Amino acid sequence: MNYELNFEYLIERVTPQMDAEQVAQVYRAYEVAHEAHTGQTRDEGTPYIVHPIRVAVSIVDELNLYSPKLICSALLHDVIEDSAVTREDIGRMFDEEIAEVVWLLTKLEEVRLSEYLARIEAAAHTGAPIVKLCDRLDNLRSVAHTPLHDELQRWLEEARADLTRLETMLKGGHR
């Protein structure tokens, strides 16, 4: 997989699987995310918008899921914590299901990592864990390019916690 795939590639992949209204919704999610992340860069130096696009592409290419809700949520997953966009804004622009997933994926500073992950796990029915795992996968793929040692350590610790929770969920029969 080419990890620098762009939005046009994502649209090419989903268009045969979605109706025109769903594709338009994916475009809107991209536009909101692009605007929210304008001027932001990832630790590895890429424009921030590349990350949510890669997360959405992972959902499609690696999991073979064409859910507009999951794809839009992937594109929007960092907008609340990185911009002035609110959960209510997302609910108005999209729908309550997408707003709920994006809210679940929003890591607030005052919330401990274990609480954050437990909240996502408890809402497995929303699809939030799928987006979170694709997010974590992209973070791990890009971590080799980050010059920030502290960021690398944080990502590795969070990935370990995610994998432990996933393993527990799978052993318990939750799918």
Contacts of 77 (CB under 8 A, 6+ apart): 52, 55, 101, 102, 105, 106, 131, 135
Of the candidates 82, 89, 95, 151, the residue annotated as catalytic is 82
Of the candidates 61, 81, 89, 95, the residue annotated as catalytic is 81
Complete domains list, the chain, with CATH:
7-171 (1.10.3210.10)
Please give the model's pTM, rounded to 2 decimal places: 0.83
Position 147 scores a pLDDT of 58
Residue 86 has pLDDT above 60, yes or no: yes
Residue 3 has pLDDT above 70, yes or no: no
Residue 149 has pLDDT above 90, yes or no: no
State yes or no: is 82 an active-site residue.
yes
Residue 146 has pLDDT above 90, yes or no: no
Position 144 scores a pLDDT of 63
State yes or no: is 21 an active-site residue.
no
Two tokens, residue 153: 């350590």
